[in-house]
A and B are shown apart, each in its own frame.
Chain A
């Protein structure tokens, strides 16, 4: 170990090379590197890192096992709290969660908890180590809506507790945002997501794809006609927002959801697949979150020159630091303090440019961030052929509008208790983005766990 204050570096694909392919950017640790990094953990008694993890993984517990080379033991430790460690190790915003709290971080760099978690999980996937299954079922049927992180976690935990669980998914693939949103180069689908879902199947969970709750059937019908005693709603926040500026229906304007769904879920980046994508030659991605970075880096890989257009400054970019760093390395251009006001199109309706206005930061707003205000007279036009709107998403009203007595708030989010996931409707629970609005994988998993616990309590009292 060279410098104890520095984290063991992780190997990555060269930025120039990876800008032209969809292979994973980060290679992760090997066993040697992982064991090396594990020695940096102080095995704190009052481990602050655990407080930073929304599912409270016993972090020093698993890291000590890695240090000893007992990777299987480390996996078992993580498995007590997380059903998708290979996913979280890759996409958690560690810098603001577990790693933000690590004492090592006070003087030097925090222990690379996420990379260690990823290593352990990948090792388990490669070596077919399975999670522990329930001895026998308890005969109670539970339905889970949505196969994203919230639904998968709830389903996994309930199955472990002996419930007969069926997950209903609207799309033709399982995984929610993990398959339709987050790109292959950040989260491999066959190697990681599918395999991690296989583990949930091994717990005995049944999956039915192509079932849109609210259309193919409803929550009330599941309970009345198909004998499900409880339902967990993990339907996410999939509805894209647009800006409401002129020209937004022009050809070449996409929501990030559409662009990413075409590329990820439908594999349009691979010519062997039928679904087309209009990649664009010069692309502006409007927004500054993880979704914007993913859309931008996807467009780049499809051969475009890509600009991120964001109305605040770099400091306020909501995306994970690692993603912004990777995006810059790959050659994404950041047009900060810039806000679109109109999309321009030719007489056939195809995008030709975007009129923007420059912004400056004023007083702090309700979110505590300085509010961007337009600079009068600073309008200008960027010439381009494609605009990808990445302004956030909200929950789909489909389920709420077809379920009697299910309360939602003004933001279309299902109202549910933090601790138990209980909604306003008896035996119906909810969690994840459907409740919080667009958030993170690990928060959705935490909510899935809470929901599973809530359902277990409710059904054992019945």
Chain B
């Protein structure tokens, strides 16, 4: 059993938990993920590692309610436990193994959509701790939905919040913010890291391709084992088939076939499931990109 030592509601439908998982906390790196299972009947749910405390042996997860399992997870409280918590899975972000001096010369732009702010945070924090200040754009629907703002401000170079409704920061989509920074303000970036709903990552990539800005994305296809055993998570990266759980989850966004991956994400979405979603959550499954009409 893996004890939840902290449980907090960050925003509507979005929850943060610190979970005691010593083996994961000891070796995990930014970019990696875990798979959690609530109890005997639970699904295996993949979640990005959002922070870790090697000393305390805890790992932080942040998740959004989008269906039955995440809803069930949201009801867990401090002192409860996950039956299973496995990781770290996947490959760490590339910069972790890059030459630090080379890395320090690079200008990196992070773009986070919705709950994607959570997985972006450990990456920006890692860079900050290694003397690299990266710029961060975070998009959300409203001010209330903006995640980890204080934490992010503390580790980011420039911090650019965007809201769809204009209630805070830049009014509009993250893509218009990127355009503004690069085309209007003439900022130069060597690499962009975009994490959020697939539809947001797709539109960011369409734009950065035009801007000739190499872009890394973190893919979140349907997974089962997370160790390369089932192939559920396969996707096209260029001409090649990759398994997101062992080859990723981060890939060259300009090579990923987003349309196919988005189709694959709908695999278990029955009509009934859609009805359930609508009733439970309205249109909150939203990444702040403005192009997304929910998860359809």
Residues of A at the B interface (CB closer than 8 Å) are: 170-172, 180, 209-212, 215-217, 238-240, 242, 248-249, 251, 254-255, 257-258, 261-262, 266-267, 272-276, 278, 348-349, 396, 398
Contacts and interface: CB of A to CB of B under 8 A. Distances in A.
A171 B225 contact: yes
A276 B231 contact: no
Contact of B227 (A217, A238, A267, A276): A238
A272 B68 CA distance: 13
Contacts of B224: 258, 261-262, 266, 275
Given A216-B24, A251-B264, A398-B246, A240 B229 contact: yes
Contacts of B26: 217
A278 B268 contact: yes
B234 A249 contact: yes
Nearest to B89: A215
B11 interface: no
Nearest to A275: B43
20 contacts: A171-B227, A172-B86, A180-B229, A210-B84, A215-B88, A215-B227, A216-B27, A216-B87, A216-B88, A240-B229, A240-B231, A249-B235, A249-B241, A258-B224, A258-B231, A261-B224, A262-B224, A273-B41, A275-B44, A275-B224
A267 to B, nearest CB: 8
A170 B236 CA distance: 26
Contact of A349 (B44, B69, B225, B264): B264
Contacts of B264: 249, 251, 349
A218 to B, nearest CB: 9
A300 B264 CA distance: 24
Given A216-B23, A276-B268, A257 B230 contact: yes
B263 interface: yes
B57 interface: no
Contacts of A170: 86, 225, 227
A210 B37 CA distance: 11
A349 B263 contact: yes
User: What size tier do the contact residues of chain B reach?
Assistant: 35 or more
Nearest to A259: B230
Contacts of B37: 172
B129 interface: no
Interface in B252-285: 260, 263-264, 266-268
Nearest to B269: A276
Contacts of A267: 41
A88 B16 CA distance: 46
B87 A274 contact: no
B207 interface: no
A216 B228 CA distance: 15
* 5 shortest interchain CB distances as A-B pairs: A349-B263, A258-B230, A210-B86, A255-B231, A172-B84
A58 B43 CA distance: 43
Contacts of B229: 180, 238-240, 257, 261, 396
B182 interface: no
